[in-house]
Amino acid sequence: MKILKILVKRGANLLDPESVKEIIARQEWSPKRKMIAVDAYTALLRMRGGTWDPPRYKLAPRLPFIPMEEELDALIAGCGPKTSTFLRLLKETGMRAGEANGIHWDDLDFETSTVRVTPEKGSNPRIFKLSSRLMAMLNALRGKSGSSRVFSRNLNTIRRLYERQRATIARKLQNPRLLRISFHTFRHWKATMEYAKTKDILHVMRLLGHKRIQNTLIYTQLVDLKTDEYTSKAARDAGEASRLIEAGFDYVCTTPEGVMLFRKRK
């Protein structure tokens, strides 16, 4: 309805398909938005029993934006408790926002630190191992949601809250790149990092729940854009090593002095 109203305001006659076609063509919209306008008008005609010869718009293939991990962590740290927990869940698992929002408390196993994901968009179901830090954040929300679902708000509300907090954090840190990080960006980041680490496209396919490998192959191109630069850390005992592993560092070796070395791709 909203986009049909816009077309009328800009001169389209909804009783004349050719008029609608002309007004859509004039707009400085992306091909995707024009496709949405075509679909909206097609739905209106179908309701009225009419047909038309719709214009065709083709989406140009684009590679998704992959932020730095520090930028994701800045958003997680700067948001409120519920939004922060939601974002960290997306970062650790790469699940879709709709899948995360659909998680029930019964899907979480606090003994094994795992979560079961009910898939959407025809994906496959998955089980993810979660960090002790994320489990602690989830545990802090227990009893506060008043719902069988972990995140009781609808997804649009969660998204609006996140976008307001994101804008505040971007201004505070003077980093406009943060404004480009959507919920789905966390999924792209996770898949890219997993392929960079494992070079196993089937592993990434299973992680994302894809049924067609063609949907996963894009991440092989994204990794080519990455450098082989790493952040290195040292651990002198099991406690320090455990915290580094939970932070995403990979074990490399142990020096003759007994110091364990870890690294993580920048």
- Across the chain, which has 266 residues, the per-10-residue mean pLDDT values are 94 95 93 93 94 89 89 97 97 96 96 93 88 95 83 94 98 97 96 89 92 85 62 90 87 88 81
Shared domain for 82 and 113, answered yes or no, is yes
pLDDT, position 224: 56
Report if residue 260 sits inside a domain.
yes
Report if residue 117 sits inside a domain.
yes
Q: Which domain holds residue 7?
A: 2-48
Report if residue 61 sits inside a domain.
no
Cβ contact 141:81 at 8 Å: yes
Report if residue 191 sits inside a domain.
no
Shared domain for 113 and 164, answered yes or no, is yes
pLDDT, position 145: 65
pLDDT, position 221: 75
pLDDT, position 227: 52
Shared domain for 103 and 133, answered yes or no, is yes
Report if residue 252 sits inside a domain.
yes
The distance from CA 119 to its chain's CA centroid, rounded to whole angstroms, is 14
Report if residue 54 sits inside a domain.
no
pLDDT, position 150: 95
Domain count, the chain: 3
The distance from CA 30 to its chain's CA centroid, rounded to whole angstroms, is 21
| 190: exposed, middle or buried (Cβ count in 10 Å: 0-12, 13-18, 19+) | buried
Report if residue 201 sits inside a domain.
no
pLDDT, position 230: 76
Shared domain for 87 and 168, answered yes or no, is yes
Residue ending a domain, among 124, 154, 183, is 183
Shared domain for 178 and 98, answered yes or no, is yes
